[in-house]
Chains A and B, each alone.
Chain A
């Protein structure tokens, strides 16, 4: 695949690159529009309830401000009425800054900008690992674990799909094919989080092969880097196995379906008639044609896996965005949930963008 991209880039003429840039720009605009759409929809939905949220932010700021003033006043610089006046002035200023003096529908744009900047104030009880209770800090530090988990699992899924899909397509109707068609049906219907609960019950508590789901690391992790890495890996294995077991069936099935369709195309028969070796047909005729739809599938599959990751992380206490969602719901933290919704959408849209670019290189028809 990497080689394909390289060759494609080398082979470009100036005009091609212009066309490519245009397509990329269009893709970027669509996805940005989607993202802005999400933020706007969120802002509209939250409009009527956002007063509470913003007022809480204002009150918090005003409280901090008046405390600071009082500390200065202790030196005798200000009297009580001066403090009150300053506080009132500051509150007015904030209310105007957050546009709380206007009805919520006039505030959609400022509200959307607030969401975009993740400027959502402070969480009540949940703090980040470093102790900050700023919503932005809490959310940002949860992204790497989620991406780590999701990327590993998705790569395994893609590998399974690419290795098993064509194999099954060639032996369709056979025993292996039947087995995997059942596996796919169950896999589609099997919620990863429930499978996780079962695997935890069996392989952590009944037959203790894996460590209890305490997050990234054990309660008392080893201090040397290698030990820490092994400890983290041992915690990551079961969630990843769970996730792959619950989602790989669909990947295998779709890859198989795509290859089946291509195997029956005329150009494959022609290639066979020419007496080409099976391996050559597979690589140069079938897989080359199958790559674009498989990539599309990867793009779409990511949407589903993001949802699955939220719930799987929750079960395994994996400190990513998903587990944070669960904790935020439990603690009734609206700003956090709002920020999380936005950030998961962002992660998704960015991932799609990357895959869409990949897609342009894979499918020549998109270029011309």
Chain B
């Protein structure tokens, strides 16, 4: 079987025959499926619109392991709960200060059953519309605990600026109330603790580091050796949120109450509470695109220059080979660091790809040239020339088909180089932050000094980088005997 006779179908079969090729193709196939799914379900501007949008992640727990870790290994972790109500539990029109106003009541019932406290409790009000700016919107939260009732856990007067009357406000960014560090709630809870348990903790202490409002909501105080400690109080908690609006036509789109837990989703969250599963998924098409675009262009340039250099010889050959020598002598990473550093962040990915292309073709061009030199002196090429075939015809009919399999193998071998280089540069903080990649997720670990804590933050992105790179290496290994007929009989 000669190389020319090797069709794509046969090449695939040869690949499939070795276990390395099979494993590589299966992994690559899964990556392609993941990429298609991602492109179909996630917006292209995901990075700017969601990933880097701090408001989007406020309901999410920060630095927590995946939910399956909680289920399998650590049941003590509090699960994450977000309760949402689009229609109020009750709604009534009352008379207030001489006007008719609407009062919306939302009741959230939460069963607290865990030895750990939430990270935060966050109330969010979306899409509020108030028509009468002379009256304020009044927000109150009352809480029914297993051991008693706090009538006004929170109270706030929201003044609506006249120019916003009748318009929908708090959308998409909601009006939110956070238990974490909340002084008002702290003083109410301090009061409640004193009345109910005859224990006094000052509101400042209660809101401080030692206790924390988000804990105090779900705890009862205990006197222990002269110190007051909080102990989780499991049971049913009922949060009643009332929003007193300014006129009967007023409305609210949605109210959510998040009891921010200590485990989240498939892959956990990072320091900013961002869902790592989403970014990991988004990384698939990016990694494939970086890898394939770069390696395809590099291989094309390397092949064309190698073929021309070998076929025509003379001055072209001299220029191409000397340039390739110099480029091959240059350590790439420092230059890449320099180039991406001086580039604006939104162009860094392009600069990375361009630099890899400019410096990457040299090795291939040198090898292709030496292949062309031997093919050129074959008798059938001389015969074709004697018959009057043009240079272009000889190149495309006789030379390119022979070097192509080798070029394709090198192309596949170059894909991981591009992916790994992008990841490495991202690690140094030289990625394009508007496009989250696996490398950038890892770079944040280093920024935040979280190496000692977050296995779920370090392991998956790196593993994906390694697995995708391994897939290409395996395919390239399996291609070796396909490309080099001398090896084909051996394996």
Q: Which residue of B lies closest to A342 (CB)?
A: B334
Docked pose: A200 CA to B428 CA in angstroms: 18
Interface: A133 (CB within 8 A): no
Q: Which residue of A lies closest to B469 (CB)?
A: A189
Q: Which residue of A lies closest to B323 (CB)?
A: A37
Q: Which residue of B lies closest to A253 (CB)?
A: B477
- Contacting pair B338 A341 (CB below 8 A): yes
- Chain A residues, CB < 8 A from B341: 329, 334, 337
- Chain A residues, CB < 8 A from B41: none
Given A197-B451, A337-B337, is A30 in contact with B325 using a C-beta cutoff of 8 Å? Answer: yes
Interface string of B442-463 (1 = CB under 8 A from A): 1001100001110100110010
Chain A count of residues within 8 A CB distance of the other chain: 47
Interface: B329 (CB within 8 A): yes
- Contacting pair A189 B473 (CB below 8 A): yes
Interface: B32 (CB within 8 A): no
Interface: A95 (CB within 8 A): no
Q: Of residues A46, A204, A314, which shows the largest number of chain B Cβ atoms within 10 Å of its Cβ?
A: A314
Docked pose: A329 CA to B338 CA in angstroms: 9
Q: Which residue of A lies closest to B470 (CB)?
A: A189
Given A205-B452, A307-B424, is A345 in contact with B330 using a C-beta cutoff of 8 Å? Answer: yes
Chain B binding surface, main DSSP class = helix
Interface: A67 (CB within 8 A): no
- Contacting pair A33 B326 (CB below 8 A): yes
Interface string of A350-364 (1 = CB under 8 A from B): 001000000000000
- Contacting pair B442 A194 (CB below 8 A): yes
Docked pose: A189 CA to B424 CA in angstroms: 12
- A198 touches which of B332, B423, B427, B458 (Cβ 8 Å): B458
Interface: B474 (CB within 8 A): yes
Docked pose: A190 CA to B331 CA in angstroms: 19
- Contacting pair B470 A344 (CB below 8 A): no
- Contacting pair B330 A340 (CB below 8 A): no
- Contacting pair B326 A310 (CB below 8 A): no
- Contacting pair B420 A329 (CB below 8 A): no
Interface: B368 (CB within 8 A): no
- Chain A residues, CB < 8 A from B342: 45-46, 49, 334
- Contacting pair A307 B446 (CB below 8 A): no
- Chain A residues, CB < 8 A from B424: 191, 193, 307, 311
- Contacting pair B334 A310 (CB below 8 A): yes
Query: What bracket does the count of chain B residues touching chain A fall in?
Result: 35 or more
Q: Which of A181-220 contact B (CB under 8 A)?
A: 181, 185-186, 188-191, 193-194, 197-198, 200-201, 204-205
Interface string of B418-454 (1 = CB under 8 A from A): 0010011001111000000000001001100001110
- Chain A residues, CB < 8 A from B329: 30-31, 34, 349, 352
Given A311-B424, A329-B429, is A337 in contact with B338 using a C-beta cutoff of 8 Å? Answer: yes
Docked pose: A35 CA to B442 CA in angstroms: 33
Q: Which of A220-245 contact B (CB under 8 A)?
A: none
- Chain B residues, CB < 8 A from A33: 326
- Chain B residues, CB < 8 A from A349: 329
- Contacting pair B335 A341 (CB below 8 A): yes
Docked pose: A201 CA to B453 CA in angstroms: 8
- Contacting pair A200 B416 (CB below 8 A): no
Interface string of A309-352 (1 = CB under 8 A from B): 01100110000000001100110001001101100110011001
Chain A binding surface, main DSSP class = helix
- Contacting pair A191 B462 (CB below 8 A): yes
Docked pose: A52 CA to B455 CA in angstroms: 42
- Contacting pair A37 B326 (CB below 8 A): yes
- A306 touches which of B325, B333, B462 (Cβ 8 Å): B333
Docked pose: A71 CA to B25 CA in angstroms: 74
Interface: A38 (CB within 8 A): yes
Interface: B37 (CB within 8 A): no
- Contacting pair A34 B339 (CB below 8 A): no
Q: Which of A1-58 contact B (CB under 8 A)?
A: 30-31, 33-34, 37-38, 41-42, 45-46, 49
Interface: A303 (CB within 8 A): yes
Interface: B130 (CB within 8 A): no
Q: Which residue of A lies closest to B473 (CB)?
A: A185
Docked pose: A310 CA to B331 CA in angstroms: 12
A39 to chain B, nearest CB (A): 11
Docked pose: A337 CA to B340 CA in angstroms: 11
- Chain A residues, CB < 8 A from B326: 30, 33-34, 37
- Chain B residues, CB < 8 A from A303: 331-332
Docked pose: A310 CA to B473 CA in angstroms: 23
Q: What 8 A-B pairs are tightest by C-beta distance, nearest first?
A: A189-B469, A307-B333, A194-B462, A34-B329, A344-B334, A205-B452, A189-B470, A348-B331
| 19 additional A-B residue pairs with CB within 8 Å, beyond A198-B462, A201-B452 | A30-B325, A34-B329, A45-B338, A45-B342, A189-B416, A189-B470, A189-B472, A191-B423, A191-B465, A193-B427, A200-B451, A205-B451, A310-B333, A310-B428, A330-B429, A334-B341, A341-B335, A341-B338, A349-B329
Would you list 30 pairs from A and B whose C-beta atoms are within 8 A, ordered by A residue?
Answer: A34-B330, A37-B330, A42-B335, A42-B338, A186-B466, A189-B416, A189-B466, A190-B466, A191-B424, A191-B462, A191-B465, A191-B466, A194-B442, A194-B462, A194-B466, A197-B451, A198-B458, A201-B452, A201-B458, A306-B333, A306-B334, A307-B334, A307-B424, A311-B428, A314-B427, A314-B428, A314-B446, A329-B337, A329-B428, A352-B329
